[in-house]
A and B are shown apart, each in its own frame.
Chain A
Amino acid sequence: NFMLTQPHSVSESPGKTVTISCTRSSGSIASNYVQWYQQRPGSAPTTVIYEDNQRPSGVPDRFSGSIDSSSNSASLTISGLKTEDEADYYCQSYDSSNPVVFGGGTKLTVL
Chain B
Amino acid sequence: EVQLVQSGAEVKKPGESLKISCKGSGYSFTSYWIGWVRQMPGKGLEWMGIIYPGDSDTRYSPSFQGQVTISADKSISTAYLQWSSLKASDTAMYYCARLSEGWFDPWGQGTLVTVSS
Contacts and interface: CB of A to CB of B under 8 A. Distances in A.
Chain A interface residue bracket vs B: 20 to 34
A73 interface: no
A94 B61 CA distance: 12
Contacts of B50: 99-100
Contact of A45 (B46, B47, B95, B101): B95
A90 B102 contact: no
Given A99-B50, A100-B35, A100-B50, A45 B45 contact: yes
B68 interface: no
A110 interface: no
Interface stretch (B69-77, B82-90, B107-115): B107-115
Contacts of A100: 35, 47, 50, 61, 99, 104
Interface of B is mostly: strand
Contacts of A88: 44
A50 B45 CA distance: 17
A46 B50 CA distance: 18
Given A99-B59, A100-B35, A47 B46 contact: no
A93 B45 CA distance: 13
A92 interface: yes
Interface string A22-64: 0000000000110101010000111100110000100000000
A97 to B, nearest CB: 10
Given A99-B59, A102-B44, A33 B95 contact: no
Interface of B: 33, 35, 37, 44-47, 50, 59, 61, 95, 97, 99, 101-110
16 contacts: A39-B45, A45-B97, A46-B105, A46-B107, A47-B105, A50-B105, A51-B103, A92-B103, A99-B50, A99-B59, A99-B99, A100-B47, A100-B50, A100-B61, A102-B47, A105-B44
Interface of A: 32-33, 35, 37, 39, 44-47, 50-51, 56, 88, 90, 92-94, 99-105
Given A44-B95, A99-B33, 6 more contacts: A33-B102, A44-B107, A90-B44, A90-B45, A92-B103, A101-B47
